[in-house]
């Protein structure tokens, strides 16, 4: 069996040459590009729109009763803490909020793997060499600017834990409706969507590699801390599906925002279940 050294790979002599793989390896990078570009374009449009993020707006448009829904793009609710946020800070509150999930997702180990492959072809897929690799003078990986910033992922995790807590607060609020009779209990499709968003975001965050390290790291003997060992096993099981939770939570957060926008703008009424 032939063996290949690191030098072979560096000099573009990888075992499988570009284009010689006969399977459809390009499907994954194409899907990654389409999904990330579409989501980013939608998120930017919504952030700059700065409107229709609170379902109570539907009351001003003639609705008799609405569920209490807040778009996840506007949570934590800086616009409530600083009334007149847009005028005071001259930016949409969503742009302030999106810094946290954006830095968390952009530095996510799984996400890095996906966009390094799809956008930088670094490499485009397993068993394929990186184009132009032979001309590279030196490889600095994530130890030089700007990719050294990827190492801040664990700090982005601390902020996203606060964001997760707010998603549950908004899920609680979504269990109530506001109308002619004041605020009272009521569950609708919006509550379900907000619940799905909170659960999938939690699965994504609590399957994070940095979270796993926080739970089980820093010990010479993990079995000496039985509770941490048990938690670490749970997080490790979640971690095996981290990539899946990344995509599902990304799609659901966009869906939750879209749903709130449709209700807040009066395009649809939230169907009540209870
Ligand atoms: Fe993906 Fe931490 S590794 S969120």
pTM: 0.90
Rounded-to-integer distance, Cα 20 and Cα 42, Å: 36
Please give the distance, rounded to the nearest whole angstrom, from the Cα atom of residue 237 to the centre of ligand 1. 14
Residue 188 DSSP code: B
**Angle at Cα 192 formed by Cα 235 and Cα 109, nearest 5°?**
30
The rounded average pLDDT for each run of 10 residues, N- to C-terminus, in the chain (274 residues) is: 47 55 92 98 95 95 94 93 80 90 97 95 86 77 91 97 98 96 96 98 98 96 96 98 98 98 97 93
Please give the distance, rounded to the nearest whole angstrom, from the Cα atom of residue 51 to the centre of ligand 1. 30
- Ligand 1 atom with the smallest distance to the CA of 210 is 2
Rounded-to-integer distance, Cα 42 and Cα 261, Å: 12
Pocket of ligand 1 (CB under 6 A): 108-110, 153, 208-210, 242
* Nearest C-alpha neighbor of 181 from the set 80, 66, 100, 75: 66
- Ligand 1 atom with the smallest distance to the CA of 111 is 1
> 121: alpha, beta or left, given left = phi > 0 and alpha = psi -120 to 50?
left
Instruction: Give the pLDDT score at 90.
Output: 78
Q: Where are the beta strands (DSSP E) in 13-79?
A: 65-67
- Alpha carbon nearest to ligand 1 atom 1, residue: 108
């Amino acid at each position: 069996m032939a063996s290949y050294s690191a030098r072979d790979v560096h000099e573009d002599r990888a075992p499988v040459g570009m284009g010689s793989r006969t399977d459809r390896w390009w499907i994954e990078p194409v899907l990654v590009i389409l999904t990330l570009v579409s989501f980013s374009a939608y998120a930017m449009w919504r952030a700059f729109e700065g409107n229709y993020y609170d379902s109570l707006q539907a009351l001003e448009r003639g609705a008799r009763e609405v569920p209490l829904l807040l778009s996840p793009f506007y949570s934590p609710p800086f616009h409530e803490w600083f009334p007149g946020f847009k005028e005071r800070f001259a930016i949409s509150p969503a742009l302030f909020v999106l810094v946290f999930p954006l830095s968390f997702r952009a530095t996510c180990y799984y996400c890095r793997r996906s966009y390094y492959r799809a956008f930088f072809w670094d490499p485009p897929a397993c068993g394929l060499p990186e184009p132009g690799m032979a001309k590279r003078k030196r490889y600095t990986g994530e130890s030089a600017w700007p990719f050294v910033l990827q190492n801040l992922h664990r700090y982005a995790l601390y902020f996203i834990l606060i964001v997760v807590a707010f998603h549950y607060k908004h899920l609680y609020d979504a269990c109530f409706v506001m109308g002619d009779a004041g605020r009272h209990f009521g569950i609708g499709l919006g509550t379900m969507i907000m619940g799905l968003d909170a659960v999938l975001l939690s699965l994504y965050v609590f399957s994070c590699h940095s979270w796993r390290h926080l739970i089980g790291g820093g010990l010479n003997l993990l079995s000496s801390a039985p509770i941490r060992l048990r938690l670490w096993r749970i997080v490790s099981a979640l971690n095996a599906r981290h990539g899946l939770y990344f995509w599902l939570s990304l799609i659901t957060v966009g869906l939750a925002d879209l749903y709130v926008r449709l209700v807040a703008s009066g395009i649809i009424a939230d169907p009540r279940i209870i």
